[in-house]
Amino acid sequence: MSFTKPIPAYLAQRYMGWRATTFQENRGWYRRLAEEGQRPRAMVISCCDSRVHVISIFGADQGEFFIHRNIANLVPPYEPDGDRHGTSATVEYAVTALRVAHVIVLGHSRCGGVQGCYSMCSGDAPELEEKTSFVGRWMDILRPAYETLPDADEATRLTALEHEAVRVSLRNLMTFPFVREAVEAGTLTLHGLFNDIAEGSLWTLDPPTGAFQPV
């Protein structure tokens, strides 16, 4: 592995600080987690965006959330074609092996992935149309939603597309047979959330209306 290097000094120092404080004060808890294995009650699917701080928003501890992050918090439809489906693998593991009680799709404001999809669909980002663009082909999951956007100013349309990223993922989750079965059996519930980064606000998808309401 001659192409790798040790981590930068500032990261090593931060780690030493964590080990001397947080870890040292909770040694028993960490040992128990290691010995008993994980039993998270919820899976969270959120964006990779560094500003979306799932753990911090919910004040969560180790072992509480099974978290999957990808660009624009998208879940692709069920496609058992033998290809490498990272997101589908995490959903399968969470629902069939860990038997989580909740799957939460957490969208967010100012999402770069959604912006990219918007630009691609508007014809402003031809590079994302290339077959070799991993981001572009990933954002194809959201592409059909672009056609449903309201006739409004760009900021409103972008927010609407960010909301659609959550709805599309929830609908796609239901195309997985093991997800649908667990939902219909009442052992699994799906939830849609939206985090406004600047306001620190959290919005929840209201089932009857399909709109986002403040938590």
Residues that bind Zn ion (CB under 5 A): 47, 49, 111, 113
State the nearest-atom distance from the C-beta of 71 to Zn ion, in Å.
Answer: 7
State the nearest-atom distance from the C-beta of 33 to Zn ion, in Å.
Answer: 29
Name which of 183 and 197 has its Cβ closer to Zn ion.
197
Beta-strand ranges (E) seen in 51-200 are 65-70, 102-108, 189-196
CA–CA distance, 162 with 145 (Å, rounded to integer): 10
Structure tokens at 34: 């290691």
Name which of 49 and 164 has its Cβ closer to Zn ion.
49
State the nearest-atom distance from the C-beta of 61 to Zn ion, in Å.
Answer: 25
State the nearest-atom distance from the C-beta of 47 to Zn ion, in Å.
Answer: 3
SS3 (DSSP) at 51: coil
Name which of 95 and 165 has its Cβ closer to Zn ion.
165
State the nearest-atom distance from the C-beta of 133 to Zn ion, in Å.
Answer: 17
CA–CA distance, 137 with 126 (Å, rounded to integer): 12
166 DSSP β-pair partners: none
Name which of 98 and 197 has its Cβ closer to Zn ion.
197
Q: Which residue has the tokens 């038997």?
A: 99
Name which of 95 and 120 has its Cβ closer to Zn ion.
120
Q: Do the beta carbons of residue 150 and residue 156 sit within 8 Å?
A: yes
Whole-angstrom Cα Rg for the chain: 19
Q: Which residue has the tokens 């439809």?
A: 77
